Amino acid sequence: MEITLAVLKPHVCRNTYALQQIKALISSNFNILEAKEVRITKELSERFYAEHKGKFFYNRLTTFMHSGPCYALILQSEACIQKWRHLMGPTKVFRAVYSEPDCIRALYGLSDTRNACHGSDSEASALREIAILFPEFKIN
Ligand code: ATP
Ligand code: MG
């Protein structure tokens, strides 16, 4: 079965209600292989988002990701990557609100950067990102 990395961003972790709702949604859709609160340092956040280096939002994004604890999970299900990305909704919150008003980003996103959550976009990204946030995790 497929696995993916999900990260709940700092503003969501400060919002007890949002965190509880999203965790419940995750539990009802996936096997949770690992889950932990994680403090992402600026260096780790720059490695994690290396593909966006040079974009106008890179510094804003990496600074935001280490502004407080995040919550990271390794999820497993059939077609897990697509399934989690569908539950998250579009990257841009204004699009999410208009096109998929029940998705996580429409409900809990605050801006294009503070868009509530992250999900790996491919199997290769999932492996790379899991190795960064869960270095001790062994992939079978
Ligand atoms: P995908 O990987 O399919 O492009 P994604 O939701 O992971 O979707 P990315 O484009 O990889 O989004 O961008 C990574 C993160 O960078 C986003 O989740 C968001 O926080 C931030 N971001 C992306 N685009 C913008 C933007 N135009 N303005 C501000 N922040 C952005
Ligand atoms: Mg991405």
Q: How far apart are CA 93 and CA 105, in angstroms?
A: 6
pLDDT at 127 over 90: yes
Report, as residue numbers or ranges, the catalytic residues.
118
pTM value? 0.96
pLDDT for res 45? 97
Q: Tell me the CA–centroid distance for residue 114 and ligand 1, in Å.
A: 10
CB of 58 sitting under 6 A from ligand 1? no
The structure tokens listed for 9 are 């961003």
Q: What is the mean pLDDT of residues 93-122?
A: 97
Q: What is the 8-class DSSP label of residue 4? A: E
Residues 106, 91: Cα–Cα separation, whole Å: 10
Going along the chain from its start, the domains and CATH numbers come out as 2-87+118-133 (3.30.70.141)
Indicate whether 104 pLDDT > 80. Answer: yes
pLDDT at 98: 95
Calculate mean pLDDT across residues 19-39: 98
- Mean pLDDT, rounded, of the chain: 97
SS3 (DSSP) at 126: helix
Q: How confident is the model over 19-29, as a mean pLDDT?
A: 98
Indicate if ligand 1 lies below 6 Å from the C-beta of 100: no
DSSP state of 89: -
Q: Whose CA is nearest to atom 3 of ligand 1?
A: 121
ipTM: 0.92
**Side chain identity at 49, as an amino acid letter?**
Y
The 10s digit of each residue's pLDDT in 62-101 is 999 999 999 999 999 999 999 999 999 999 999 999 999 9
75 CB within 6 A, ligand 1: no
Can you give the pLDDT at residue 67?
96
Residue 140's pLDDT is 74
Q: Tokens 């995790």 label which residue?
A: 137
pLDDT mean over 107-130: 98
